[in-house]
């Protein structure tokens, strides 16, 4: 006579494989998640290194370019007509004539100034529509006694900076030459090729304020202090998550922001997580098994 097993034993027989399977699934999921976190961390570190390198290189290029232009302006300050105008503290047509070579295509003003910042000669013109108070305010934004460039100033939705070079005689400062420049059209296509799709570069004052794209677009800053950038943040223009590195341009008041969308940075880790999930793996095994069965069936049919 065959003895029937107790209900308790039958229950254990059924539950044990399920418990083992559940435990294996937990181990697989935990292992996949731990591996994903490591891949994610590595991707963020690599992105930060690349952004740091790009921001540092671009900040260096900006500083070198501005220094070269300021050096040219300082050299012009040795012109006799320029010095004579400053010595006489009066407008001289010859001094204005000497400033003309500094004009750029946009014809924004180049000014010869006294040490207190008051202009005594000017070529070029301020943008149409600017009021006297706006011109006065923008003038005060320029450094008075240091060679270099000013903070970014936004007027009517456009961003401007001053480049300033002191005029010296007998070892002392007699005045300065100041050139107003609009920020924009700064090789964004080349930067896109350097950083990759979706990446962006901005100018920003080290003291804070709006970000200025290489095309000159003014956008709201996603966080207030450029010196304390969070690991990730939300872009105010479209709400997407991003990460960035900010590098100061020499000793100037401006910094360079190199930014990457988080979605692109984490594309590889997300793909890894999807392909290492139990469902994906079981799906792959099922597909291989079905393929093997189909092959066996075809072989049997050929034999028949």
* pTM more than 0.85: no
3 state DSSP class of 7? helix
Q: What is the pLDDT of residue 113?
A: 92
pLDDT for 272 equals 46
Q: What percent of the chain has pLDDT over 90?
A: 36
Closest CA to 253 of 50, 57, 108, 66: 66
DSSP string, 12-26: HHHHHHHHHHHHHHH
> pLDDT tens digits for 7-56?
554 565 555 555 555 555 554 554 455 555 666 666 677 778 888 888 99
Contact 248, 265 (CB under 8 A): no
Summarised one tens digit per residue, pLDDT across range 129-149 is 999 999 999 998 887 667 888
- Per-residue pLDDT, 248: 93
How far apart CA 209 and CA 152 sit, in angstroms, is 9
**pLDDT reading at 165 higher than 50:** yes
Residue 197 has pLDDT above 70, yes or no: yes
Q: What average pLDDT does this structure show over 76-84? A: 91
| pLDDT value of position 25 | 54
* Sign of the four-CA dihedral 179, 182, 187, 192: positive
The phi and psi torsions of 195 (rounded to 5 degrees) equal: -90, -30
Taking 50 as the threshold, does the pLDDT of residue 212 lie above it? yes
Q: How far apart are CA 210 and CA 206, in angstroms?
A: 11
Bridge partners, 258 (sequence order): 201, 245
Average the pLDDT over each of 197-201, 215-219, 297-301 and give the range with the smallest value: 297-301
pLDDT at 234 over 90: yes
pLDDT tens sequence across 239-259: 888 889 999 998 889 999 999
Distance CA 176, CA 82 (A): 10
């Amino acid at each position: 006579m065959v003895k029937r097993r107790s209900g308790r034993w039958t229950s254990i027989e059924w539950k044990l494989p399920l418990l083992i399977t559940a435990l294996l699934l937990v181990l697989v999921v935990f292992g996949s998640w731990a591996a994903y976190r490591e891949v994610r961390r590595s991707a963020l570190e690599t992105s930060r290194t690349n952004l740091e390198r790009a921001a540092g290189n671009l900040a260096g290029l900006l500083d070198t370019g501005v220094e070269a232009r300021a050096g040219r302006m300082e050299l012009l300050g040795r012109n006799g007509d320029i010095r004579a105008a400053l010595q006489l503290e009066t407008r001289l047509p010859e001094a204005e004539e000497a400033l003309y070579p500094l004009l750029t295509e946009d014809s924004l003003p180049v000014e010869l100034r006294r040490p207190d910042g008051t202009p005594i000669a000017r070529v070029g013109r301020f943008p149409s529509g600017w009021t006297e108070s706006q011109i006065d305010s923008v003038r005060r934004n320029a450094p008075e006694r240091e060679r270099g460039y000013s903070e970014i100033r936004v007027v009517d939705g456009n961003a401007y900076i001053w480049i300033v070079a002191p005029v010296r005689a007998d070892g002392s400062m007699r005045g300065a030459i100041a050139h107003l420049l609009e920020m924009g059209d700064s090789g964004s296509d080349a930067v896109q090729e350097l950083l990759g799709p979706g990446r962006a570069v901005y100018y920003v004052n080290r003291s804070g304020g709006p970000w200025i794209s290489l095309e000159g677009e003014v956008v709201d800053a996603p966080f207030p202090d450029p010196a304390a950038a969070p690991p990730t943040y939300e872009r105010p223009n479209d709400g997407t998550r991003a990460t960035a590195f900010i590098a100061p341009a020499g000793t100037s008041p401006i910094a360079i922001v190199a930014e990457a969308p988080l979605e692109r940075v984490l594309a590889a880790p997300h793909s890894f997580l999807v392909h290492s999930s139990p469902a994906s793996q079981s799906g792959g095994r099922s597909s291989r098994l079905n393929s093997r069965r189909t092959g066996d069936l075809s072989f049997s049919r050929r034999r028949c």
